[in-house]
């Protein structure tokens, strides 16, 4: 018999609406699962009392026939989203006691749809990192092997979803922070198009890249989540004023005639495990067997995506994190009493080493002497990459690629600075950053395993074509399950 915490979001919604079980029962099942798996360090704040009260209210709405689409569904929220009256830290000491007086648009949209919050989830500090080891609350452990990383920065979200510690979770992505942890934890991660969801109330890292998205148990669950997360918001200047499609309607198994592309520059990359490449080729062949056309495309500037990201993200981080100065909110360390020393002491004690490193690099690249050499040049190459993706999507409907090249590194390797961590990180950047730079939607679907650890395959479509992403992702999910 399937336990309540093992149900998918869709199954949970259907069961609640048909009154097979109550929201209180579902919420208590997830709370018990969280309590039994605290050693994963996925949650940095538990809001169980609030969750139980929300569940009671949801059950009343259902009984009265006033149920909203996600009424009574328990979610976990990455600690990057401001939640009114609930501590939000971005897992940084500089915001350790920050309690926002406002709600992020994405979370408010979910609460308006009837969902409730189980707690705030661990992440890399300010979402900077791919290992979830830079959090001021300590590393998150991978549920499949607790000695290994879960990926980052949304490692807490992916680990919680994989271990059934929430019906679904919120993650965010700047470069690969949804797709990589989803791949390493064997769950589904959806990166929407840049501008599809509002960034209002998301603690900023890199403003031209940050985007919120769901991490779920199934592709159908991701479609449901995104439907209620997305939408125009005048409080975000880059949020697209476009209608939100019915993503569930795009979940089709038939891929006959679909044009599935693979990137020439990704062929036989050194360092990618043979099992990952086999899984990748098997997925391409599965589409071909179902009537899809498999097409090679060339995107020459993908090889520079990691370098472009390193420049633009660090520069934008240096600008965005300048607001944490000890004056208005967050940590304040007075030092010797002078203003300059207060700045130095506050930022020195508030930020972790990874943040300091990126701020120094970003500030240097933004300097008057280096601006044209780094930031401006990176913007030009990004435009070339954007144009190459646009040209590729004239030839194909979706592009398929691996996400992670091997089994995840161990936490010990990361903390000790082992060379394998840098090599794996560079390959992940090469495979994932191009899609982030182009602002296109992509979904990570579990596709196989290496040394007992899961890995995923990503499917990406042109900007604002999430429907095709869900169509292809759902079809692949069914193929891999053997349900054609």
**Structural domain boundaries of the chain?**
4-250
Helix, strand, coil tally for the chain in percent (to 5)? 45, 15, 40
Query: Which overall architecture, per CATH, does domain 4-250 show?
Result: Alpha-Beta Complex (3.90)
Calpha distance 151→163 (Å, rounded): 15
Calpha distance 69→112 (Å, rounded): 9
Calpha distance 271→14 (Å, rounded): 44
Residue 57: other Cβ atoms inside 10 A: 15
Choose the catalytic residue: 177, 183, 198, 206: 177
| DSSP assignment letter at 326 | S
Nearest to 224 by CA among 466, 440, 454: 466
Annotated catalytic residue 237: no
Beta bridge partners of 297: 263
**pLDDT band at residue 483 under the 50/70/90 scheme:** low
Q: Is the pLDDT of residue 203 over 90?
A: yes
pLDDT tens-digit profile of 364-393? 999 999 999 999 999 999 999 999 999 999
Choose the catalytic residue: 23, 54, 78, 462: 78
pLDDT tens-digit profile of 64-78? 999 999 999 999 999
pLDDT tens-digit profile of 14-41? 999 999 999 999 999 999 999 999 999 9
Sheet containing 43-46, strands listed edge to edge, beginning at the edge strand earlier in sequence: 43-46, 116-121, 74-78, 168-173, 211-216, 188-191, 442-450, 453-460, 398-402, 259-263, 293-297
Beta bridge partners of 188: 216
pLDDT tens-digit profile of 113-147? 999 999 999 999 999 999 999 999 999 999 999 99
Q: Is the pLDDT of residue 356 over 70?
A: yes
Annotated catalytic residue 319: no
pLDDT tens-digit profile of 262-283? 999 998 788 899 999 999 999 9
pLDDT at residue 482, as a whole number: 83
Calpha distance 429→422 (Å, rounded): 10
Choose the catalytic residue: 153, 193, 198, 204: 153
pLDDT tens-digit profile of 149-195? 999 999 999 999 999 999 999 999 999 999 999 999 999 999 999 99
Chain-centre distance for alpha carbon 402: 16
pLDDT at residue 68, as a whole number: 98
The phi and psi torsions of 97 (rounded to 5 degrees) equal -115, 20
Hey, what are 276's tokens?
A: 């990952």
**pLDDT band at residue 2 under the 50/70/90 scheme:** confident
Annotated catalytic residue 153: yes
Contacts of 107 by beta carbon, 8 Å cutoff, 6+ apart:
77, 81, 82, 83, 117, 170, 201
Contact present, 153 and 127 (Cβ < 8 Å):
yes
What string of DSSP letters covers 13-61?
Answer: HHHHHTTSS-HHHHHHHHHHHHHHTGGG--EEEE-HHHHHHHHHHHHHH
Give the helix ranges, DSSP H, for 101-154.
105-112
Chain-centre distance for alpha carbon 160: 13
Q: For 49-63, 102-116, 330-344, which range has the lowest pLDDT when averaged over its residues? A: 330-344
The phi and psi torsions of 375 (rounded to 5 degrees) equal -60, -50
């Amino acid at each position: 018999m399937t336990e309540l915490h093992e149900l998918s979001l869709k199954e949970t919604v259907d069961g609640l609406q048909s009154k097979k079980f109550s929201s209180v029962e579902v919420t208590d099942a997830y709370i018990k699962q969280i309590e039994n798996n605290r050693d994963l360090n996925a949650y940095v704040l538990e809001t169980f009392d609030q969750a139980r009260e929300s569940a009671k209210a949801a059950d009343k709405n259902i009984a009265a026939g006033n149920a909203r689409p996600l009424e009574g569904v328990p979610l976990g929220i990455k600690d990057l989203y401001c939640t009114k009256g609930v501590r939000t830290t971005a897992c940084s000491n500089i915001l350790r006691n920050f309690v926002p007086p406002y709600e992020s648009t994405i979370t408010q949209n979910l609460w308006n749809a009837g969902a409730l919050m189980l707690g705030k989830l661990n992440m890399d500090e300010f979402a900077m990192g791919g290992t979830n080891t830079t959090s001021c609350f300590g590393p998150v452990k991978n549920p499949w092997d607790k000695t290994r990383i879960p990926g980052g920065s949304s490692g807490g979200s992916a680990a919680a979803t994989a271990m059934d510690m929430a019906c679904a979770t919120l993650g965010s992505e700047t470069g690969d922070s949804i797709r990589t942890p989803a791949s390493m934890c064997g769950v589904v991660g959806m990166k929407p198009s840049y501008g599809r969801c509002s960034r209002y109330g998301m603690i900023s890292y890199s403003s031209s890249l940050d985007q919120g998205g769901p991490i779920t148990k199934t592709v159908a669950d991701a479609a449901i989540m995104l439907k209620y997360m997305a939408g125009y918001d005048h409080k975000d200047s880059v949020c697209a004023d476009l209608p939100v499609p019915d993503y569930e309607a795009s979940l089709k198994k038939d891929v006959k005639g679909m044009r599935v592309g693979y990137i020439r520059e990704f062929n036989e990359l050194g360092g990618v495990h043979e099992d990952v490449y086999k899984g990748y080729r098997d997925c391409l062949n599965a589409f071909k067997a179902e009537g899809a056309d498999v097409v090679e495309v060339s995107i020459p500037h993908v090889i520079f995506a990691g370098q472009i990201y390193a420049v633009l993200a660090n520069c934008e981080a240096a600008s965005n994190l300048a607001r944490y100065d000890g004056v208005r909110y967050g940590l304040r360390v007075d030092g010797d009493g002078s203003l300059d020393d207060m700045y130095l002491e506050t930022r020195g004690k508030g930020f972790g080493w990874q943040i300091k490193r990126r701020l120094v690099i970003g500030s240097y690249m933004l300097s008057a002497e280096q601006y044209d050499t780094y930031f401006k040049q990176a913007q030009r190459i990004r435009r070339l990459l954007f144009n190459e993706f646009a040209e590729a999507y004239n030839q194909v409907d979706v592009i398929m690629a691996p996400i992670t090249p091997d089994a995840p590194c161990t936490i010990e390797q990361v903390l000790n600075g082992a060379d394998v961590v840098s090599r794996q990180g560079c390959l992940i950047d090469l495979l994932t950053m191009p899609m982030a730079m182009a602002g296109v939607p992509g979904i990570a679907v579990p596709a196989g395993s290496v040394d007992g650890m899961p890995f995923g395959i990503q499917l990406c479509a042109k900007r604002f074509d999430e429907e095709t992403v869900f169509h292809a992702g759902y079809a692949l999910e069914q193929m891999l399950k053997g349900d054609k």
